[in-house]
Amino acid sequence: MNIIKITNNQFQLNTKSTSYVMHNENGFLCHSYYGKRLPDCDHNYMSKRPMYRGSAQSNMSKNLPTLDNALLEYPGFGEVGITATAIEVLNSDGTNFVDLRVFDYCIHNGKPKIDGLPASYAEDGDNVQTLEIKTKDAISKVEVSLFYAVFYDYDVITRWVKITNNGEKAITLLRALSGNIAFDNRNYDVISNFGTWARERQIERAPLLHTGSVVESNCGSSSHYANPFMIMAEHNTTENSGEAIGIALAYSGNHKMSANLSIYNVVNLSGGISPDNFRWNLNQSESFSTPELVISFSDNGLNGLSQNFHKLIKNRVCRGIYRDKKRPVLLNLWEACYFDFTDDTIKSAADSAADLGVELLVIDDGWFGKRDNDRTSLGDWNVNADKIKCGLESLCDYVNSKGLMLGIWFEPEMVSPESELFKKHPEWVMQINGRKPTETRYQLMLDLTNPEVCDFVYKSVADVLKTTNIEYVKWDYNRTMAHIGSSYLNPEQMGEYYHRYMLGLYDVLERLTADFPNVLFEGCASGGGRFDIGMLYYTPQIWTSDDTDAVERSEIQYGTSLIYPMSCQSAHVSACPNHQTGRTVSMQARHIFALTGSFGYELAPEKIEEKDREYIKEFIKFYNENFDIFQKGKYYRLSNPKTDDYAIFEYVYEKRIIVGLMRLKTHALNFQTNIKLQGLDPNYIYTDKVSGERYCGSQLMQFGLPVNTCRNKNDFYAKMWELY
Ligand code: GLA
């Protein structure tokens, strides 16, 4: 198997269905091709595309060495005609120029780690190789290794760079993106997510114009507003056909994903740490590694592209026992009681939840310090003895005795000004000396650039996990960063703050997940405000949104599914009327749409009416029996819930199919539709588990699964099919 093929000046990276080809021209590493798999023949003619655009007028000088026609893999700042910049350095002479030329390369079997950063990984026996192409600036002695990890069976290539200062004097990185791919425009659309609290990851698709497209966050986290990925799809690409390239950053901090289109029709698609307020000092011999950029191509439409990302993230980003193990059906008590509970509340919830078949009970915010509302106690991670009089250990014993695991909420990166921690360590706050930091939700942030603070954060969580049988942690993060400053760093390091914060956070998460391998960590950031590949390396599931309304969730989970697997998206059935929207949706609809995620509940179990209890018990049984379909199956978006009358999804795992539908818009006559299924075996005879009806795969894919909602005029009518 030829994963990496190198001939003369050409580098060809092959996955099962794609090829990525580059060539070395005059030392510049140039892009030749990324797309559908090419045969193993000579592609040399591709590299004959002139780098320099000649003049159309024959009497004009031929001496036009501008790089505006060059497809550079890692463009440095400052050469004539450069239309995108991946690296910019403040050299010791005060200039910013970088001229990187290839001088060597090597192939690593498997995939090297990236120091201190989350990244995809290879396991023994995986068909994964990594190409390292070494480039350097001969004058400044800046050396940049470009890494390309090729996941053959996943149709994914990942990129990152390591920058080393081999000069004698200190330099400062002003921009260090993870990678750039340059190619000729083919009528591309840019697809990305925008959002906010309770409305995360809405999809936007628009043609790439010469004004360019940017998805960027500078608020310290990957954010609700701009998820760190970008998809370029040909204008005719649909969910199930056509070509698309996606890039997604394995990073939870400030980021910038951008696509620009030059006047000469060259697209530069790049991603990495946002250069805004980024400076990184490199003394002699010091190195800096960027986060990883995950790249995939599909000619099977957007569903095909999403499935490539899903497969990699599920299997080679998520780690720990819960990567493969069935996730427990959890019941979170936040919407059931908010801050208003005692140990008796939890105990009676445990009794009732156990009877329903729930496996994990989660106590959310309010169990610690003097936390009766959101104004106090973040940082004081000792039990609130007024509320939990029996203590955490004994509460845990009680919950365990009912056959349930117990989970708990933390927001470890924060501190309330009204807390013991703040009194003791005001200097641990992220703040600018001499200015009063702005509170958000009555809280400030801890300075995770300071290793002592990181140790405290580690210990806050570890002490609870060591002394109790808590088996789940919801790791929340409820504000954005501001007033960036530190009493620990010196003034020259302030431009490093945002990235150092992430390194501190990742270090704490690495230690905790290693020391407590049996604990399920779930990410959260005011809902889904930090939903990215970086966090998924530590927390195999993330709370997708604080909006638990099934109709809203059908859109949020739809947008999230562009890159992120459904099993990483926590989705809960909540009470009606819904707390965020006031909408009432049937039990069926709420359950079916919580299947497009890691399934659970967010309500008071003892308040569930008797008539619904049987439904819930049966549904939990069904979920547990079919967990492998949801965890391992391929997920297809079959409709667009924003524009279509129905929200429809499909899971395919071997010969087992689950289809879910919810009617979003009711018209007087819209009662007949056929759902064209995807990804079936055309010759296999599938049986509907309930009706016993039999269909062959090609019928279901070409004519479709008939749906008649004539007799169901209820709003948000929902139905699920099991075919096998
Ligand atoms: C955030 C989370 C919620 C809940 C509250 C608790 O908003 O997203 O799920 O945990 O905090 O304060």
Residue whose CB lies within 8 A of the most ligand 1 atoms, among 200, 339, 373, 478, for a mutation test: 478
636 closest CA partner among 677, 673, 675, 588: 677
- Domain extent at residue 213: 4-41+68-316
Query: How close are the terminal C-alpha atoms of the chain, in Å?
Result: 35
Residue 58 has a pLDDT of 53
The answer to the question of residue 614 being in a domain is: no
The answer to the question of residue 105 being in a domain is: yes
d(CA 364, CA 371): 11
Residue 63 has a pLDDT of 54
The answer to the question of residue 217 being in a domain is: yes
Question: ∠ CA(691), CA(694), CA(695), 5° rounding?
Answer: 130
> Which residue is closest in CA terms to ligand 1's atom 2?
526
Residue whose CB lies within 8 A of the most ligand 1 atoms, among 200, 340, 364, for a mutation test: 364
> Which residue is closest in CA terms to ligand 1's atom 7?
526
The answer to the question of residue 531 being in a domain is: no
Pick from 316, 347, 364: which residue ends a domain?
Answer: 316
Residue 670 has a pLDDT of 62
216 closest CA partner among 249, 188, 180: 249
Q: Which helix (H) or strand (E) holds 452?
A: helix 451-467
Ligand 1 center–CA 263 separation, angstroms: 47
The answer to the question of residue 376 being in a domain is: no
> Which residue is closest in CA terms to ligand 1's atom 1?
526
Ligand 1 center–CA 409 separation, angstroms: 9
The answer to the question of residue 269 being in a domain is: yes
Ligand 1 center–CA 334 separation, angstroms: 7
Question: ∠ CA(635), CA(200), CA(121), 5° rounding?
Answer: 55
Residue whose CB lies within 8 A of the most ligand 1 atoms, among 443, 546, 574, 580, for a mutation test: 546
Q: What is the pTM of this model?
A: 0.98
Residue 55 has a pLDDT of 54
User: 304 vs 204, 205, 309, 559, CA distance in Å?
Assistant: 18, 17, 9, 15
List, chain by chain if needed, residues with CB within 6 Å of any ligand 1 atom: 334, 364-365, 409, 476, 478, 524, 526-527, 543, 546
Ligand 1 center–CA 527 separation, angstroms: 7
Atom number, ligand 1, closest to the C-alpha of residue 527:
8
Strands 360-363 and 330-332: parallel
Atom number, ligand 1, closest to the C-alpha of residue 546:
8
Residue 105, Ramachandran bin (φ over 0: left; ψ between -120 and 50: alpha; else beta): beta
Count up the domains in the chain and report the number.
2
Ligand 1 center–CA 333 separation, angstroms: 11
Atom number, ligand 1, closest to the C-alpha of residue 364:
10
The string of pLDDT tens digits covering residues 6-24 is 998 899 999 999 999 999 9
The answer to the question of residue 198 being in a domain is: yes
The token pair at 594 is 């919580």
Residue 61 has a pLDDT of 53
Q: Residue ranges of the chain with pLDDT lower than 50?
A: none
d(CA 78, CA 63): 18
Ligand 1 center–CA 476 separation, angstroms: 7
Ligand 1 center–CA 591 separation, angstroms: 21
Ligand 1 center–CA 454 separation, angstroms: 22
Residue whose CB lies within 8 A of the most ligand 1 atoms, among 409, 535, 602, for a mutation test: 409
The string of pLDDT tens digits covering residues 234-285 is 999 999 999 999 999 999 999 999 999 998 899 999 999 999 999 999 999 9
Pick from 273, 297, 316: which residue ends a domain?
Answer: 316
Q: What is the CATH number of the domain that holds 86?
A: 2.70.98.60
Give 433: exposed, middle or buried? Use CB within 10 Å, 0-12, 13-18, 19+: exposed
Residue 68 has a pLDDT of 82
Question: Would you name the residues annotated as active-site residues?
Answer: 476, 546
The answer to the question of residue 235 being in a domain is: yes
Q: What is the CATH number of the domain that holds 710?
A: 2.60.40.1180
Please give the radius of gyration of the chain, using alpha carbons only, rounded to the nearest integer.
27
Q: What are phi and psi of 618, to 5 degrees?
A: -65, -40
Pick from 316, 349, 370: which residue ends a domain?
Answer: 316
Residue 65 has a pLDDT of 58
